[in-house]
Amino acid sequence: MRGYRLALLLLGLVMVAVAAWGTKEHQGRRYLELELNNRYQQTFYDLLTHVQNVEVLLGKCLVAGGRQQAVGLLSSVWQQAMMAQADLSSLPVSPQYTERTAKFLSQVADYANTLCRQAGTGSPLTEENWETLRRLYQQASSLNRELHRVEAEILARGPNFWELGRRLKARQARTAEAPASPFRALNRETQNYPTLVYDGPFSDHLEKQKPEGLTGPPVDRGRAEARARELVEPKPTRVRVTGEVKGRIPAYRVEADTAAGKVVALLTRQGGHLLLLLAERHPGKPRLKVEEARGRAEGYLRDKLGLKNMRLSYSVQKGALAIFNFIPEEGGVALYPDMVKVTVALDDGRVVGVDSYSYLMFHRPRSLPQPRLTAAEARGLLNPRLKVENQRLALIPTDGGKEKLCYEFKARLGEDIYLIYLDAERGEEEKILKLVPTTGGELAL
């Protein structure tokens, strides 16, 4: 009888303890839930505010008379749209639903920025620019309206971003239903946005660029395998095509077994050019100097890939690897768009990586314009605080997918090194690059 009572008492105590522990856990979870929810709510309301600002500012752009006014407004559009884009991608909504809307916001920002720079160089907004702004204004209004509908829906169901986030995680394993439903409608709405072509990095025309550096007839698998046999170091014991890469430059995927491990090579379907090379093995202790490895990389380009006139532009040592960036030089002009990168293992000096995507994408016979400014004239336009160390003519890619002939200056301010590109025609600063010193990084200019 006594034992029974004691057991009962103990059981009671245990239950009290469990209840207390459970309450504490529950409170902790409740706290986290609220806290996370609040963060998401804030992000959502930030998104609403920023999109609303984009709409209003775009409206103002349509009526702005002066250039100065327009520049101010456009830079605000740029900033607000960027923030809206960042807000949208911080919400617990699967990227598949936010992609289109995020793209729209990026493009608005990018377009505003492009116009801003255009106005900065003195050219006024054209009729076409105005028409595009008007269209963007309308789309921003409809996005704003949709978002407010989403807000109403979320408010009606109570603040449940926590739930959204939790189910989003589960989604990956099961289905993409329910949680994001208000945002799904939003995504459908944005499907109808027309394409936007302009001179900026997110312009739609860049997605449709075709490779220009592919020469030669289409090759079959056997030819691709034979080519891989020539290109892979050391001599492979077995090569076979294991698949295809249907990217912008269609290619065969060839796996080669060598004494030093597996090597993967992508060879283009047209012409059988080497698009990419990647050796699996982890290089051992470095025994070569970067300078010696450079000779190997240059030899590989010349003898195996048949690329002449390639100049080293930058090299960097990453552990037991050295990465070299080469660019072709034509008539004293450095062609930056046509870059080829080569990686050499510093233990045995073999080439373990090649990336010639840019070269195959952009290299072609070009008729380069004559610079209108002389080098000395261009130099006179630089910020006088800079100490110029070197200069040459260079063709550089612009954000909008075009190319521009520039004077390239390597200059120093204090300890920092800058690369400054001046338009060889009008002398405007096209680009300023700051060299970030990394251990083992070396600029060859």
In the complex, the residues that contact another protein under the rule CB under 8 A are: 82, 85-86, 89-96, 98-100, 102-103, 106-107, 110, 165, 168-169, 171-176, 201-202, 243-249, 251, 253, 262, 264, 266, 276, 278-280, 282, 316, 318-319, 321, 323, 341, 343, 353, 355, 357-358, 413-416, 434, 436-438
Taking the C-alpha atoms of 233, 239, 245 and 250 in order, what is their torsion angle to the nearest 10 degrees?
80
Nearer to another protein, 36 or 48 (CB): 36
340: enclosing H helix or E strand: strand 340-345
Helices and strands, counts by H and E, the chain: 10, 14
Contact 265, 256 (CB under 8 A): yes
Nearer to another protein, 88 or 219 (CB): 88
Q: Phi first, then psi: give them for residue 58, nearest 5 degrees.
A: -60, -40
> Shortest distance, CB of residue 59 to another protein, whole angstroms?
23
Phi-psi region of 216 (alpha: psi -120 to 50; beta: other; left: phi over 0): left
- What is the SS3 string spanning 273-334? CEEEEEECCCCCCCCCCHHHHHHHHHHHHHHHCCCCCEEEEEEEEECCEEEEEEEEEECCEE
Q: Measuring CA to CA, which residue among 373, 382, 321 is closest to residue 350?
A: 321
> Shortest distance, CB of residue 374 to another protein, whole angstroms?
29
Nearer to another protein, 60 or 304 (CB): 304
Collect all residues with Cβ–Cβ distance below 8 Å to 290 and sequence separation of at least 6.
Answer: 315, 317, 322, 346, 440, 442
> Shortest distance, CB of residue 365 to another protein, whole angstroms?
24
Contact 424, 334 (CB under 8 A): no
Nearer to another protein, 172 or 370 (CB): 172
Nearer to another protein, 357 or 407 (CB): 357
> Shortest distance, CB of residue 232 to another protein, whole angstroms?
14
> Shortest distance, CB of residue 252 to another protein, whole angstroms?
10
Q: Measuring CA to CA, which residue among 290, 274, 277 is closest to residue 227?
A: 274
Nearer to another protein, 321 or 424 (CB): 321
Q: Which residue has the tokens 């090579």?
A: 265
Nearer to another protein, 95 or 365 (CB): 95
